[in-house]
Structure 1
């Protein structure tokens, strides 16, 4: 059933708005004019905006077909649609920017451009690899990925191959190539797409923007269709998405935006909080509401999150101008346990300690699905997978095989669909029991199997479907049928809105955005991983701080923060805990006070500030690492650089990590140009910290020695 808005007594306002706090109620009852909602983590922003939409529709202010709600992931859009259905509003369009633009493009292409819409390219890698081969550039999987990311950034920044070079200064060496080479790859990639009659995801937005700008009739039709707009996660909009939104609005101001600048963690993709922070300047009459009551986390977790942002020190005029004053959250939950800080001797010991602590939580009644291990890079997951497996604890790797792609899930949906007619003709049972009976033939039982491995994973998938059936039977009412459940599964499959699986979640901090758990383990919190080693500007370090903030605010009650002092058992204990923990760890107040007098970081002396070739000032961290500006040609020998890249690729494959985790392209270039002959000479290069020197130093020197003999 819905939230009883039809059956409950009282006025419409009381039925829809009665359960909201004062600030949420202000959001939900402000139905016209520009509205900016600054919503901290866990403050109920989705609840506020879905109730706003429901209140507007039920009061007649909004026509559901003429309101467009935009968010950034298909999962979030599906969640919003589900909540709106529960509030009795089923016809509102809740989509991602890309999905909304693609739908418009498919409709208007014949009349605006003519012919058939080109095919949509799922992945850029193959075409970028072909573009590189045409230009006789040597690439590997890591460099192709980096080039793809750079081209995506250029396109969402509304740059073309013709003007990329002049607007990309300071971007370093994407994929290990200078910016001139990148612009040529960009042009070749666009040419190949044209030849093959395909478009990529960024083209969907670009072409839609072009049509709306050039065709007044199409623009008028879209603006007639959509009168009101809601944009969630507004801190993550790119210049291209903002341009599309402006064209949808067409000078009108019926816009509600929701966001939190302190959760901006996708700047590398072109996202910028400047539109959120400048909303009042763009719309002077806008109402601004701050949501700061945190209903998710205990006071102890909220306090740590506030202190993390509050302990940020000045990074200079540019960084300070980009840093938004954070919202100070106010916890609403009862008191809970203090966050735990754990220092471990090595990575293996850290994983074992975390697995042991998780077992304690499981024994204490915390569900496995309510526990998460979050890390900075995906390459860190293996140690925790092994530790959990050794302890007999089930887990799911977020970003692994998609739930609806699993064989047992596909088989279950087929059987459920086949049973819809028979169930409709027979006596009615509870939906949950019907689903249990149908999936029993696939291996579902009421009790979980004691064994692990594939049998347990299959049971977990089927149990998740059963639990979803029980959940929807409660939220949608007893009349919710099996046929409707199958349709719900189909919609969730398209949106990749998976139900909850009973297993500990392993995920990167970026992948954890928008999720929450009862217990969160933030692992690997040492310098070089948090902040990551290639965060070499104050602005980059600020983004890493925000990323850790996102991780902390995922926890409802139990929060554990850990790091190791060495990579391997018996290795040199030369790792330091993350600078972000200074003053937050119980034993770090003194060291934090000392650091405030000597400087904000533990970094070695700054890399050269001027080009060693032409003497010009170096603008980016990548240039400073190399000691040479992008305009000056590289001084390394090609065979040396190729040998180092091949070694890095082999090392990355062996460790199952991205190539940049071994060494960034800028560091690799610096090594090739300096050609150090000893560990001491290697250690002075920017990007070579103690841990990387210990792990890779001898191997790098061997590669250099071998290449010099060729």
Structure 2
């Protein structure tokens, strides 16, 4: 493909990106506007015109899947030899290469799971070591490290940003934990993933010879999803650049949804000031979604302008009209799951592939109801974030057989036919099993390999020859390294965070009630604004079909206390769907000494019995679940929503997130007798 032909495939704004080959370039790219297409064509055009050497370009992004997709696209454009990696993968490779020279010996082992190390550190400083506490403390350590916050600076930092401390712990105690955590790692001779970036950045800052070697190798940088960069990643990027400005960044402030993990759009929004002479390009032509979806997305995100956020990009739909966005209200969560499964079945009967359908929700705990509803309806599904495709035993067995088949395959046979013959030994057949279960899941996985073989066979290799089984094995090895699994033919279940960067023909956004989205834990304006961006990301995953819904109650037969998400009140048709015609007001129990005292006492007794049963089942001391004082206050107030429950003294963020709904159920049962 000639250099001019590369440009012919782009729209005017994408072409402006592709031809801006030197100096700082900032691309503000809305959802569905072809940002990956623009930057991969930019790299390919730079190589084709002789401005770049392939090995001098380093493209970094945030997920292995995105890096794998970028490499695949670059290979298709003839731009082989370009390094496209995640920040961590690029840093790990460089750290491993230079460690023997700088420190001596092999680099330390990386701890893949922090839990054991954090638990040991927590014991040393007297903090809780139950599973939930350790998880929250590990997340807080990660936030501090990627935010370049040391133990000495922690208390000041969390106060400055009004950050909630895990489990309501004393910030001083968390600071001591951070010191103990580093000591435990040192004793065990291990490092964590954040250390990979910290150690490499320090190595480049302190050793001029090492920095010169890296900077001589990599002269041109591209950073995708730049709105998600953390202070630590920016610091490493600064060391790679060494004061140079040969940098192209791509991002969208409206898709910043990882602030809780240290991501910040600051570096994107201030890029032109940080890099004088920046070429600024805005991509707003949305090729992904219908006008109906795009209009809703624009309305949702436009409100961020009114609360002081950066002005959002206004997307312009390029596709023809599609079906109207659907809105649905259900009696409870179970009814919502069943209703969505029925709607999915109708789409599948109408010709939409199950793999082109997604059900998205705010928290992973919401997936169970949809799994049950889809299974009952006989609809295949996969849970994104569940068991990794390449970690499945049947997939590993299939890869072993394919490696052997690559050596023994008949050179005259078509590659897809050979693959089918090989995979018959591990459960593949022309027709899937009739029933759901392990056999069907195994068949789905094998069918994904068959489909990939078919796709590879239709794309001739670079030298013009037909693809072989060996080529398929090489493709699978590369995908396994990047965790870029082939598509499994089933409906995707995923949290809104896990759906970022993906798209489907049909998307169901479920559980859109206040307290779920925005989550009840969003107790600052900044956190609520991020929840709005999360909804925007969910909406823009849909190409054609989009449904928004919520359940008025959590369980069948319980009180309908939920109201629609505040983000949708102005958008929901006729303002319908609010429980009881509007938001529930603050619920406070009657004062002591009134006729309602017996109800308060009965509610407290119910809460106490539930608390004791829960403590026994989980092995957690009862006082750690709910104190007597907290039970008394909850019984007196009788809250009817997560927001109201969160106002009760003694109900912290972790309690609200883990057992808040159960507490409300007990309160509702007690109130029903009044």
Q: Is the 8 A contact 2:563 2:577 kept in 1?
A: no
Task: Tell me the distance in 1 between the aligned counterparts of 2:138 and 2:119.
Answer: 10
Task: Tell me the distance in 2 between the aligned counterparts of 1:455 and 1:250.
Answer: 55
Task: Tell me the distance in 1 between the aligned counterparts of 2:469 and 2:37.
Answer: 27
Task: Tell me the distance in 2 between the aligned counterparts of 1:378 and 1:417.
Answer: 36
CA shift for structure 1 position 480: 2.3
CA shift for structure 1 position 114: 2.4
Alpha carbons of structure 1 residues 678 and 364: separation in structure 2 relative to 1, 3 Å: closer
Specify the alignment match of 1:614 in structure 2. Answer: none
Aligned positions of 1:521-536 closer than 5 A: 521-536=508-523
Determine if the alignment matches structure 1 residue 133 to structure 2 residue 123. Answer: yes
Task: Tell me the distance in 1 between the aligned counterparts of 2:489 and 2:364.
Answer: 21
Determine if the alignment matches structure 1 residue 151 to structure 2 residue 141. Answer: yes
Specify the alignment match of 1:612 in structure 2. Answer: none
Specify the alignment match of 1:262 in structure 2. Answer: 254
Residue 383 of structure 1: which of 342, 361, 369 is its match? 369
Aligned positions of 1:116-265 closer than 5 A: 116-169=106-159, 170-265=162-257
Q: Is the 8 A contact 2:305 2:311 kept in 1?
A: no
1:181-235 residue CA offsets vs partner (Å, 9 max, x unmatched): 1111111110010011100000001111111111111111110010000000000
Alpha carbons of structure 1 residues 678 and 167: separation in structure 2 relative to 1, 3 Å: closer
Task: Tell me the distance in 1 between the aligned counterparts of 2:442 and 2:85.
Answer: 31
TM-score (norm 2): 0.89
Task: Tell me the distance in 2 between the aligned counterparts of 1:543 and 1:647.
Answer: 36
Specify the alignment match of 2:67 in structure 1. Answer: 77
1:133-152 residue CA offsets vs partner (Å, 9 max, x unmatched): 12233321111011000000
Task: Tell me the distance in 2 between the aligned counterparts of 1:55 and 1:377.
Answer: 42
Residue 275 of structure 1: which of 267, 282, 286 is its match? 267
Specify the alignment match of 1:681 in structure 2. Answer: 637
| Secondary structure of 1:544's aligned partner | helix
CA shift for structure 1 position 588: 1.6
Task: Tell me the distance in 1 between the aligned counterparts of 2:611 and 2:234.
Answer: 38
Stretch deviating more after TM superposition (187-196 or 674-683): 674-683
Alpha carbons of structure 1 residues 693 and 473: separation in structure 2 relative to 1, 3 Å: closer
| Secondary structure of 1:374's aligned partner | strand
CA shift for structure 1 position 398: 0.7
Alpha carbons of structure 1 residues 114 and 451: separation in structure 2 relative to 1, 3 Å: same
Q: Is the 8 A contact 1:86 1:475 kept in 2?
A: no
Q: How many matched pairs?
A: 631
Q: Is the 8 A contact 1:583 1:589 kept in 2?
A: no
Determine if the alignment matches structure 1 residue 543 to structure 2 residue 530. Answer: yes
Task: Tell me the distance in 1 between the aligned counterparts of 2:577 and 2:495.
Answer: 31
Q: Is the 8 A contact 1:375 1:522 kept in 2?
A: yes
Specify the alignment match of 1:708 in structure 2. Answer: none
Stretch deviating more after TM superposition (476-485 or 359-368): 476-485
CA shift for structure 1 position 676: 2.7
Q: Is the 8 A contact 1:644 1:672 kept in 2?
A: no
Alpha carbons of structure 1 residues 440 and 590: separation in structure 2 relative to 1, 3 Å: closer
Alpha carbons of structure 1 residues 59 and 673: separation in structure 2 relative to 1, 3 Å: farther
Q: Which runs of 5+ in 2 are unaligned?
A: 589-607, 670-674
Task: Tell me the distance in 1 between the aligned counterparts of 2:44 and 2:202.
Answer: 33
Specify the alignment match of 1:610 in structure 2. Answer: none
Q: Is the 8 A contact 1:348 1:568 kept in 2?
A: yes
Aligned positions of 1:369-380 closer than 5 A: 369-380=355-366
| Secondary structure of 1:558's aligned partner | strand
| Secondary structure of 1:288's aligned partner | strand
1:610-648 residue CA offsets vs partner (Å, 9 max, x unmatched): xxxxxxxxxxxxxxxxxxxxxxxxxxxxxxxx9999877
Determine if the alignment matches structure 1 residue 488 to structure 2 residue 488. Answer: no
Specify the alignment match of 2:448 in structure 1. Answer: 464
CA shift for structure 1 position 258: 0.3
Specify the alignment match of 2:385 in structure 1. Answer: 399
Task: Tell me the distance in 2 between the aligned counterparts of 1:381 and 1:177.
Answer: 30
Specify the alignment match of 2:34 in structure 1. Answer: 44
Q: Is the 8 A contact 2:329 2:577 kept in 1?
A: no
Task: Tell me the distance in 1 between the aligned counterparts of 2:662 and 2:336.
Answer: 18
Task: Tell me the distance in 1 between the aligned counterparts of 2:493 and 2:201.
Answer: 38
| Secondary structure of 1:451's aligned partner | coil
CA shift for structure 1 position 497: 0.4
Residue 552 of structure 1: which of 522, 539, 545 is its match? 539
Alpha carbons of structure 1 residues 391 and 643: separation in structure 2 relative to 1, 3 Å: closer
1:87-139 residue CA offsets vs partner (Å, 9 max, x unmatched): 11221100111111111111111222223311111111001111111223332
Aligned positions of 1:275-674 closer than 5 A: 275-312=267-304, 314-315=306-307, 320=308, 323-423=309-409, 426-477=410-461, 478-588=465-575, 604=586
Task: Tell me the distance in 2 between the aligned counterparts of 1:207 and 1:160.
Answer: 15
Stretch deviating more after TM superposition (692-701 or 145-154): 692-701
Stretch deviating more after TM superposition (478-487 or 334-343): 478-487
| Secondary structure of 1:117's aligned partner | coil
Task: Tell me the distance in 2 between the aligned counterparts of 1:261 and 1:51.
Answer: 23
Q: Which runs of 5+ in 1 are unaligned?
A: 6-11, 596-600, 607-641, 660-664, 703-710
| Secondary structure of 2:567's aligned partner | helix
CA shift for structure 1 position 372: 0.5
Q: Is the 8 A contact 1:677 1:701 kept in 2?
A: no
CA shift for structure 1 position 454: 1.1
| Secondary structure of 1:565's aligned partner | strand
Q: Is the 8 A contact 1:235 1:271 kept in 2?
A: yes
CA shift for structure 1 position 174: 1.1
| Secondary structure of 2:632's aligned partner | coil
Q: Is the 8 A contact 2:305 2:312 kept in 1?
A: no
1:489-543 residue CA offsets vs partner (Å, 9 max, x unmatched): 1111121100000011100000000000000000010110010000011110000
Q: CA RMSD in A?
A: 2.9
Task: Tell me the distance in 2 between the aligned counterparts of 1:161 and 1:700.
Answer: 41
Q: Is the 8 A contact 2:558 2:668 kept in 1?
A: no
Alpha carbons of structure 1 residues 433 and 112: separation in structure 2 relative to 1, 3 Å: same
Alpha carbons of structure 1 residues 476 and 125: separation in structure 2 relative to 1, 3 Å: farther
Task: Tell me the distance in 2 between the aligned counterparts of 1:537 and 1:546.
Answer: 15
